[in-house]
Structure 1
Amino acid sequence: MMAKYGACLLCLSTSVVGLAQAESLAISALGNLDLNYTQPQRVASYEGSPLPAQVEILPGNDYWISTPENIQQVHFLVGQGQRVSKGQAIVKLTGPEVFHYLAQVEAAATLYQLAKSRYERNKPLLANGSISAEKWREISQDYFTTHLEYEHMQHFMERVHSTDAATDSLVVAAPVDGIVKLNAISGPYMAGDQLFSLVPNNSIRVKVNVPTGQSHSLSAININQCHIAIESLSAIAEGAFVTAWSSAVPQECNLLLGQQMTVVPEYQKAVYLLPKNSVFSWEQDSQVFTLSDNQLNALTVDILGSTPEQYIVASDQDLSQLQVLSQSVAAVKGIMLGLGGE
């Protein structure tokens, strides 16, 4: 009994060695097996497995609008997340502080014009030595100080859509086309508090985490019927993934800022389509049999994805120039293992 069991172990060991070394098989050794072949189709791109993604703002691209003074009443004229156009009224500010601020703007403009006139009037006098350097420094400092103050206030006033002295109010408009993010708070708005921000349409992107090994061939993503190209790829990995950013999301895609979804990645890489019955497992690899000089040769391929009837595979060789076995594959593998045909 022990001798018989030992002989079986020896047979199994011999089979495993044969499996590791078997790479080709003569057609003549296959007897009357029906053999058919297919020529793999080469394609320039393929769709991979779905990946998690989110609609986000491209960092550093949104516009922030803050209140210049403490404001008693803030009334938003649009809804949260609404798409708005440049110049569209966004928020109405009301209260005595508004009147005070508008008076400050007018005073700053007057002081700036006076300082500018003095500066220009005295500039020729400096050239001919009629005024001292100390006096010129005083004139210059007054001019540049009032200029900066005026420009600071004017920058906010460029965003003002309209003013109403009767109600001590002003209306702030959108500086660009985009999606508005309102900063609604329960308490009063203090000077410098954010009123709202504007996300330009071209800064709304899809952020997707892609496996590191496939990141450099990622060219686009598909969301339902929406096709969006990939614009940039991070050079820093986060574990097994790399962050990719799409180009601007077209409005017709109807995606919401902050929306989470799965996307179908599209990889730009030369791959091949093979019938699923052409591919078999050999130890830890996926392989196919190719025909050459009346021999079937085992060739390792990498499975990247699949369709209902085909595998999407990559190979170091140009499979489109080869004949790949598509019938009796399991039987050929069995013969190669020494197990006999079907």
Structure 2
Amino acid sequence: MRTNQMQLNYTKIRCNFVHYFKALLFIAVLAYLAINRVLAAQTLAPIPISELSGFDTQFATTHATDFIDAQSVMGQVSYKPGVNYTVLFAFDVAQINYLYANGSHVKKGAIVATIQGSDVQHFLDTYQSAKDMLNVAKSHYDINKVHLKNKIIRSSEWVTITQSYYAAKLSFEHLNHQMRYLQVDEQENVSLISPKTGILQFPTQAANRMLGERAFDILDPNSIEVKFTVSISLGKEVSYFRVSEQCQLSIKSVDNIANKYHQTIWASPSSAQCNLTIGQSIKAVPVKKITGYSVAKSALFEFENTNYIAVKADEHLEFVPVQLIGSRNQDFIFSANIPLNNRQVLISSVSALQGMLLHLGRE
């Protein structure tokens, strides 16, 4: 009884598998026939060029092209966050007189501005006091270092002396670091100096002139870039940006964080001829890298919802389906499934040819 039940189950499983296999085979045949019908509809038989006798038949040569222009976009001349070298006020400033125009190129050590205020003298006094205290602490430290070696002082006393010395040293080094940005003349007039060679950038007029606030920034000219916000799809295709024939922008980086449908691209000038100014808005053409060809616009025609060109092959015209990518001046840019560089393509009487294909006769 049990054996009969197992045979019955096996028979059912086999029948189900056969039906399932037949269904898959039927679907595959239908798909194959459908694809063949589409391919057949898109395949046009060559015709002799003599069929166009009586018509003007001119040909043009196709040319391979690697790039195509996209729609112009606007960019902002700027720099990436954090690349600016910032000089801060070491004390509250009542008045500052900048000696350069905003955006000027300055050299390292150049006097950028003169500053005035009651806290200026206080800072200088504090600096001198810290310097004197360090000298005293250093002398006390050196003397007692010998005493410790000779076991004249206790270890606990040496710890206190050491702490006092390093505290004085740390206090002076902090003030001395700020003094590196200052120049004091014989009359104790204080000026701010540039720590680097680069482009000078001032804070806004409304900015505070308090201790720790920004006095100015220095930018490396090589850090100046153009910030573009483009669609994610364009960001994946763009190869470089063209501002003019003399100015191209090479892509430096693409932000991997998007803002909904857009992302940020940073590009830098490829030559000094770009002459960019921080804060400037510029219009640039994104140039996309492609694998395609160019030909006169009159060469393309449509037949059964597919674009074609008529390629000369000896004494015949072969019809090649193409995918239109864009245009450049008087040419179309297209791609194809076969190599077409330097091929002769019909560019006149194309409408007459199209009419023949549509069985409308000659025009």
TM-score (norm 1): 0.78
Is 1:23 the equivalent of 2:58? no
> 1:67 corresponds to which letter in structure 2?
F
Cα pair distance change 1:290/1:109, threshold 3 Å: farther
**CA deviations over 1:24-54 (Å, ceiling 9, x no partner):** 1330498235544443212344444322112
Of 101, 105, 111, the match for 1:89: 111
TM-aligned CA deviation for residue 72 of structure 1: 1.9
Identity across matched positions, percent: 27
Supply the distance in 2 between the matched residues of 1:97 and 1:251 (Cα, whole angstroms): 43
Cα pair distance change 1:29/1:223, threshold 3 Å: closer
Match of 1:6 in 2: none
Supply the distance in 2 between the matched residues of 1:19 and 1:270 (Cα, whole angstroms): 23
> 1:178 corresponds to which letter in structure 2?
G
SS of 1:236's equivalent?
coil
Is 1:191 the equivalent of 2:211? yes
Of 341, 345, 353, the match for 1:320: 341
**CA deviations over 1:172-192 (Å, ceiling 9, x no partner):** 122223332222546872211
Match of 2:241 in 1: 221
Cα pair distance change 1:18/1:169, threshold 3 Å: same
Cα pair distance change 1:29/1:321, threshold 3 Å: closer
Range with bigger deviation, 73-82 or 96-105: 73-82
Match of 1:206 in 2: 226
Match of 2:171 in 1: 149
Cα pair distance change 1:116/1:165, threshold 3 Å: same
Larger Rg: 2
Supply the distance in 2 between the matched residues of 1:57 and 1:281 (Cα, whole angstroms): 48
Supply the distance in 2 between the matched residues of 1:270 and 1:117 (Cα, whole angstroms): 76
Match of 2:73 in 1: 51
Cα pair distance change 1:22/1:283, threshold 3 Å: closer
* Mapped contact 2:322–2:334 kept (Cα < 8 A): no
TM-aligned CA deviation for residue 60 of structure 1: 1.3
- The 5 Å alignment of 1:302-317 reads 302-307=324-329, 309-317=330-338
Of 197, 218, 236, the match for 1:177: 197
Structure 2: gaps (5+ residues):
1-36
**CA deviations over 1:71-118 (Å, ceiling 9, x no partner):** 222222222333333322211111231111112222223333444455
Supply the distance in 1 between the matched residues of 2:308 and 2:119 (Cα, whole angstroms): 77
Which of the two has greater strand per residue? Answer: 1
* Mapped contact 2:241–2:250 kept (Cα < 8 A): yes
SS of 1:93's equivalent?
strand
Q: How many residue pairs were aligned?
A: 323
TM-aligned CA deviation for residue 137 of structure 1: 4.5
TM-aligned CA deviation for residue 244 of structure 1: 1.8
Structure 1: gaps (5+ residues):
1-16
TM-aligned CA deviation for residue 139 of structure 1: 4.1
